[in-house]
Structure 1
Amino acid sequence: MSLCERAASGSALLWPRVLLFGDSITQVPAAPSAASACVSEQSRRGSPPPHRAPRAGYNTRWAKIILPRLIRKGPGMENPVAVTIFFGANDSSLKDENPKQHVPLDEYSANLRDMVQYLRSVDVPRERVILITPPPLCEAAWEKECVLKGCKLNRLNSVVGEYANACLQVARDCGTDVLDLWTLMQKDSQDFSSYLSDGLHLSPMGNEFLFLNLCPLLDKKVSSLPWLLPYWKDVEEAKPELSLLGDGDY
C-alpha cells in the first residue's frame, strides 16, 4: 500500500467552520476579503476560509427561515466555532418607500433573538455568536443610487441607528458578542462616507475597518483551537509521516 493510500485510510481531519450569515453587505465582492482574511489569519491552526451564507436583499424575516437549512444537528454537521449575524440594512428600509424589505423594529429584534435561540438549540452556544449592527447610511450617496433606479430615498441614517441600537440590546439580552459598526464608523463625528461604496454597501476601506474590528472578536472564538497540523519546523525530516499522520495512521 502506498503512503497516499495509507494516509487516505487513516482518520480524517475535521476542519472547524466559521459561518458568516448576512445580506448583500456580506455578499459584495469586497466583503469576503475582509472577513475571510481575518478568519484565515486568526485560525492558521488549520481552518479553511469561512463559509459565507449571504443573500442580497434579505432581511431578518427571511433569514431566520433559512438559518435551519445552514446549521442543524445530525451526522456530518459539525457545529461552527463562530457565527456572525449581520442584518439590518434592509430591515431598516422605510416602509412607505420599500415595504417588501422593511421589517418593523420590534420584529427585527425578535428575529435576531429567534436566530440566537435557534443556534443554542442546535448546540451553538451564545459565546460563539457575534451580532453585527448595520453600518451607517450616507444618505446623499444612497439617494443618487435610488434616483438611478427610479425611486425615492428609501433609507435614513437616523432610522438605521434605531435598528443598530436594537441589535445592541438583543446582544445584551442574549449574552452574545456584538460589533457596533454604526457607532464606530461615526465615532468623533468622522466622515464615514469613504467606508461606503454607494452610501450603503462597504467600500474596500470599509471592509478594512470591518476587518480590524471583527478580528479581535473572532480571535476569542478561534484562538483556543488546537493545531491540526504541526508547524513546518516541527515536521520530522527523515520520516515526515511520523509528524503528519501519527503513529496509528501510517
Structure 2
Amino acid sequence: MAAAPSEAVAGSYARRLFWPRILLFGDSITEFSFQENGWGALLAQRLARKCDVLNRGLSGYNTRWAKIVLPRLIQKDSNAKNTIAVTVFFGANDSALKDVNPKQHVPLEEYADNLKSMVLYLKSVDIAEDKIILVTPPPLHEAAWEKECIAKGEKLNRLNSTTGEYAKTCVKVAEDCGTCVIDLWTLMQKNNKDFSCYLSDGLHLSGEGNNFLANQLWSLLEQRISMLQMLLPYWRDVDHLHPEASLLDNPHDKQ
C-alpha cells in the first residue's frame, strides 16, 4: 500500500503554483507560430521554466470574429496578474479585397474599431495597456501569393498597398490606446529591402520571417521577462533527503 502523503505535501495540493504566461492571439500567422522554428515556438524555448507561451491563433479569422471569441479565451481571473503580455495580431485577412474575398474582408474603419474593442476588453479583465502588443500584418508579396491563389482556382485576393493601409491603422490604434506595437509591414520593407525572404508563400512567415518577429517581440519583452526567475529549484539544489523543504518552500512559488 502506498504511503500517505506527508502533511507538508498534502497541504501543498491546495497551494497552486502560478505560472506566468504570454498569450498569442491572432490569425493563421499566429496559429502556425508553434510549427518548427515558428516565432511562438522560439519564444517558448527561450522562456522554458519561466513563462508559458499560449497559442490562441485562429487560421482565417478577422477582427470581426476575433472580438467575439476573445472573451471566451481570456477572462478576469487569478491568471490575469500573471499575464506578462498579450499579442493581438490581425489584419492579413481583414485586408482581403472585398470584391474578391468578401467573407474575410473587414472595412478599414471597422478594423480599427474592432482592435480598439479588443484592447478595451483586455483592459477590463486587468490586462494593462503596457502588456498589450498589437502587431500589424506583414507586407504581402503579390506575385508569390497570386500563385497560391491560382493554385486554388482563385484570383489574387490581396494587395500589398491595401495591407499597408491596415498596418497604418493598426499603428494608429496602438498610439490612441497607449499599447505597444510592432509594425511588421514597415519594418520588413525598411530601406527598400526585398522582403520576400520573410515570407513562405507571399503571406505567411518563412523561417527568416519567424525569427525576425521573435526578435522584435523579444526586444519589447526582454526587460520585463528579465525579472522572472526559474520556477521550482534547479535539480542540483533540491535536498534529496528532505525534498519537501526545497520543493514546497520556494518563495517564488507563492502568489
- TM-score strictly above 0.5: yes
- In the other structure, the counterpart of 2:120 is 117
Question: What residue in structure 2 maps to residue 18 of structure 1?
Answer: 22
CA offsets 1:115-148 (integer angstroms, 9 cap, x no match):
0000001111111111000000000000111111
Give the C-alpha shift of residue 235 in structure 1: 3.8
Specify the alignment match of 2:51 in structure 1: 47
**RMSD (CA atoms):** 2.5
Residue 85 (structure 2) pairs with residue 82 (structure 1)? yes
Structure 1 contact 23–56 (Cα < 8 Å) conserved: yes
TM-score w.r.t. structure 1 length?
0.89
Matches of 1:44 and 1:38 in 2, distance apart? 9
Structure 1 residue 231 displacement after superposition: 4.1
Structure 1 letter corresponding to 2:158:
R
Contact 2:129/2:177 (CA < 8 Å) preserved in 1? Answer: yes
1:37 correspondence with 2:39? no
The alignment status of 1:135 with 2:138, answered yes or no, reads yes
1:65 offset after TM fit, Å?
0.4
Unaligned runs of at least 5 residues, structure 1? none
Question: After the TM superposition, which of the residue ranges 74-83 and 141-150 deviates more from structure 2?
Answer: 74-83
8 A contact 2:100–2:155 mirrored in 1: yes
Q: Does 1:223 pair with 2:211? A: no
For CA contacts below 8 A with separation 6 or more, give which structure has more relative contact order: 1
- Report the Cα distance in structure 2 between the residues aligned to 1:171 and 1:4, rounded to whole angstroms: 52
SS at match of 1:109: helix
1:7 corresponds to 2:9: yes
Cα distance between partner residues in 1 of 2:142 and 2:197: 13
Q: Distance in 2 between matches of 1:204 and 1:117?
A: 33
Q: Structure 2 stretches of 5 or more lacking a match?
A: none
C-alpha distance in 2, partners of 1:219/1:8? 37
State the distance in 2 between where 1:75 and 1:246 align: 21
Within 5 Å, give how 1:1-250 maps onto structure 2.
6-7=8-9, 9-10=11-12, 11-28=15-32, 30=35, 33-41=38-46, 43-44=47-48, 46-48=50-52, 50-74=53-77, 80-232=83-235, 234-236=237-239, 238-246=241-249
- What do the CA deviations read for 1:7-43 (whole angstroms, capped 9, x no partner)? 35412211112110000111125377322322441x3
Q: Aligned equivalents of 2:248 and 2:93: distance in 1?
A: 48
User: Which AA in structure 2 matches 1:7?
Assistant: V
Partner Cα distance (1:174, 1:56) in 2: 26
How far apart, CA to CA, are the structure 2 residues paired with 1:207 and 1:155?
21
Letter in 2 for 1:111: N
Tell me the SS of whatever aligns to 1:81.
strand
Q: Give the superposition deviation at 1:215.
A: 1.0
Q: Per-residue CA shift, 1:166-198, capped at 9, x if unaligned? A: 111111111111111111111111111111111
In structure 2, distance between residues paired with 1:107 and 1:79: 31
Counterpart AA for 2:26: G
Q: Quick one: structure 1 residues 88 and 247, their matched pair in 2 at CA, closer, same or farther if it must change by over 3 Å?
A: closer
Aligned pairs, number: 247
Q: 1:63 Cα shift?
A: 0.2
- TM-superposed CA distance for 1:229, in Å, is 2.0
**1:247 and 1:133, CA in 2 relative to 1: closer, same or farther beyond 3 A?**
closer
TM-score under structure 2 length normalisation: 0.87
Take 1:108 and 1:234, find their aligned partners in 2: how far apart are those partners?
51
Q: Distance in 2 between matches of 1:140 and 1:247?
A: 56
Structure 1 residues 4, 178: CA separation in 2 closer, same or farther (over 3 Å shift)?
farther
| Conserved 8 A contact 1:91-1:101 | yes
